[in-house]
Amino acid sequence: MNLLDYLPGVPNFPKPGILFRDISPLLANPAAFRESIIQLNSLANQFNYTHILGIESRGFIFGSALALHANKGLALARKPNKLPLASHRESYGLEYGADSLEIQQSTLPRDARVLLLDDVLATGGTLIAANTLLRSAGFEVCGAITLLEITFLNGRQILDQQGIPNKSLIQS
């Protein structure tokens, strides 16, 4: 099954020059969604991890399904001001703006070995921010996986330079 067939591009969204990959058709097709989780699990098995960090918002979908499939704990990296308890925060740049991620301080056990999970690797900014966020909070990051890598943005090379082992299921 070619999963890229279920990820149509939407040109000029959310800004001119951006090709947005819509995951809705993949999620709407049970066989394609199941296959994406099975293949993401194969990537994840290359890392020694105890927990997955799903990155808001589409990383939540794949993170929760993979955590259930792999019988691993799940933590969520949220956008600012959505968590009720004390949180760690990290700001970062995107290919079309800036944002921040937060994780509640009490979410992960101290000995957690965390695998970062997001839907798309573009410039690497979000994954680098998640890595920095977790490391500054005292957690071990084992690596990062994504459903899709947009290769011309060179995010993989940037993650490599940051010392973040990473794998992507699909390159486009």
What is the reported pTM?
A: 0.93
Catalytic residue from among 89, 95, 113, 140: 95
For residues 114 and 144, what is the distance between their CA atoms, to the nearest angstrom? 9
Instruction: Determine the pLDDT at residue 99.
Output: 84
* pLDDT (0 to 100) of residue 160: 97
Tell me, yes or no, if 58 is annotated catalytic: yes
Name the catalytic one among 58, 89, 113, 135.
58
pLDDT of residue 91: 83
Give me the average pLDDT of each 10-residue run along the chain (172 residues): 96 88 97 98 98 96 98 95 86 75 93 97 93 95 97 95 97 92
pLDDT at residue 121 in the model: 95
CA distances from 132 to 42, 105, 163, 171 (A): 25, 14, 11, 25
At residue 94, the pLDDT reads: 67
**Phi, psi for 169 (deg, rounded to 5):** -70, -45
User: 101-139: b or e for each residue (b if 16 or more CB lie within 10 Å)?
Assistant: bbbbeebbeeebebbbbbbbbbbbbbbbbbbbbbeebeb
Domains of the chain plus CATH, in order, are 48-171 (3.40.50.2020)
Residue 95 annotated among the catalytic residues of the structure: yes
pLDDT at 95: 62
